[in-house]
Amino acid sequence: MSQSDIISFEPATGRELWRGQIGDVAETVDRARRAWPAWAAQPLATRIELVRRFANEVRKDAERLAETISRETGKPLWEARTEVESVVAKVDISVTAYAERTGQKKLDSALQGTAAVRHKPHGVMAVLGPYNFPAHLPNGHIVPALIAGNVVIFKPSEKTPATAEMLLGCFHRAGISAAVVQLLIGGPQEGQDLVAHPGVDGVLFTGSARVGIAINRKLATNPGKIVALEMGGNNPIVVTDTPKVSDAAVLIIQSAFTSAGQRCTAARRLIVVDSMYDTLMAEVKALAGRIIYGEPFADPAPFMGPVIDNDAADQMVESFLYLLSHGGKAIRHMTRPDDSLPFLSPAIIDVTAITERPDVELFGPLLQVIRVPDLDAGIAEANRTRFGLSASLLGGSPQDYNRFWANVRAGVINWNRPTNGASSKAPFGGVGLSGNHRASAYYAADYCAYPVASTEMDQPRASIGVGLRDS
C-alpha cells in the first residue's frame, strides 16, 4: 500500500471496498478560491435549480448509493435507504430555510434613503464529515452552503470515502462544477491542514467532541472564520411513572441501539425512577435479547449491523469491562462473536453503584442504567454531564414535561419520543461539549451566509446644518 493511499474496508466482511490517493490541500483550496466569484455571481434561482437537479441525480442512483453506504458503514440496507431519502429531502428543506432565515428586507426612510438587509456568502467552506451518516450529515452542510453562494471542499471521514465520492458525483452530474464542490481525500493531517488554511473562510464540522475542541482551539485566534461544530453527546433518556411500559421499552431500544448506537443523539444513559425500575428493565432486557444484529444485507433484515471497525469494537468492549470492574452490574453482557469482525451484541449495564461515572460518549451499542428516587433526581442526574445534545422524558404529566424541559440542558428535548431521529425541518445542535451554538439542519442557513446592513440612495444627497463657518 502506498503511503499516499486511503483505503476503505467493509466492516461486516473486512474486505477492501475502495482505494484512492490523498489529495493536495493547497491545490484544492486554490481551485476553490478561483471558482468562488463566478459561483457567487450566479442568480439564486440558478443555484437552487442546480441543487434540485442534484436531488434528482440522487434519486436516479438511490439504490446503488444505499448499497455503498451499507457496505462501507455496516448499517442495515433498510437504514441506508432512509439516509438516501434524507439526502433528497434536504434540498427542498434547505431552499425553504434559506428564504426564511436569510431573506432580504428593505425599509424606506424618506429623506434618509432606503435601509436594506441582505445576506452574503462567506466564500470557501470546508465540510468535515463523519462516518456514521457519510452522505446525509455532510450533505446537510453542503446544500445550504451552495444555495447561499459558497463553494465547498468536502473532506469525508477516512473511513467512508466511497460514499463521499458517489455523493459528489451526483453534484457534478447535476451541472455543479467540480471546482465548486470538491472532494478532498485524506486523514487527520489533511483535515488539520484544511482547517488551518488561510484560504478557507468557514469550517463546518460533524464528529467527536475531541476533534471539535481541537478545531475550536486551533481557530480561537482567528475570528474571521465561521465555525459550526456539531459534536457528540452523553444523552439521557429519563423514565418516570407511565402505564405504557412496553412502549417505553421500544423507545429505549430505538434510542440506544439504532445504528448500533453510532448516532450522536443515541441514548447513552437510561435514568429510571425506582417505582418503574423492575417492570421496565424486564421489558427492556427481553426486547434487547430479541435484536437481530448481523451483516447489512442479511435476510431477515437485522436491526443493527457492526460498529465501524475493529478498533471501535475493541474500545466498546474495554468500556463495558471497565464499567463492570468498577461497580457496574451487567443486565445484558456485551459479546463479540468473532474477534476479527466488529459485530457486538447490544449491552446494558446498571452503573448506579459507580459514584464517579465517566462522562464520555461511548459510541456504540452500550446503554448505562441509573436508578433515581424521583423525577427531580432524574433531571439532576441527566444534567451530570459536560455534553448537552439530546434528552428525552418518557412518562409523566404535561407538568412533569414542562419541568423537565425547563431544567434539562440540551439542544433537542423530547417527550415520549426517542432521543434520536431529529427532524431536518427544525434546528439541530447542542450546548456544552455538544456544539458551539451554531445549530444545523433547518438553521444551517444561519452559518452559510452573513447579514449585511445597508443604507442606500440613488444619488448622493447631504447637508451639514450646524458647526460650519459662513462661506
- Could you tell me the pTM of the whole model? 0.95
If DSSP codes are grouped into helix, strand and coil, which group holds residue 446? helix
Residues 270, 367 contacting (CB under 8 angstroms) = yes
Intrachain domains 5-231+435-456 and 235-415 with the same fold: no
Q: Is 170 a catalytic residue?
A: no
Sequence spans of domains, the chain: 5-231+435-456, 235-415
> Cα 419 from chain centroid?
14
Write down the catalytic residue from 10, 72, 170, 264.
Answer: 264
List, in sequence order, every beta strand (DSSP E) within 88-234: 105-108, 114-121, 124-128, 151-155, 181-183, 202-206, 226-230
pLDDT at residue 421 in the model? 79
How high is the pLDDT of residue 111? 61
Residue 109 confidence (pLDDT) = 66
Strand 202-206 vs strand 114-121: parallel, antiparallel, or unpaired? unpaired
Topology adopted by domain 235-415: Aldehyde Dehydrogenase; Chain A, domain 2 (3.40.309)
Q: Phi, psi (5° rounding) for residue 313?
A: -65, -45
Q: Which of 230, 295, 361, 381 is catalytic?
A: 230
> Cα angle vertex 71, ends 70, 76, to 5°?
30
The CA-to-CA distance between both ends of the chain, in Å, stands at 83
Question: What CATH number matches the domain at 5-231+435-456, 3.20.20.70, 3.40.605.10, 3.40.1180.10, 2.40.30.170?
Answer: 3.40.605.10
Regions in the chain scoring below 50 on pLDDT: 1-2
Q: Return the pLDDT at 110.
A: 57
Closest CA to 444 of 91, 83, 117, 98: 98
448 catalytic residue (yes or no): no
pLDDT score for 1:
39
CB 230 within 8 A of CB 45: no
Strand partners, 392: 237, 414
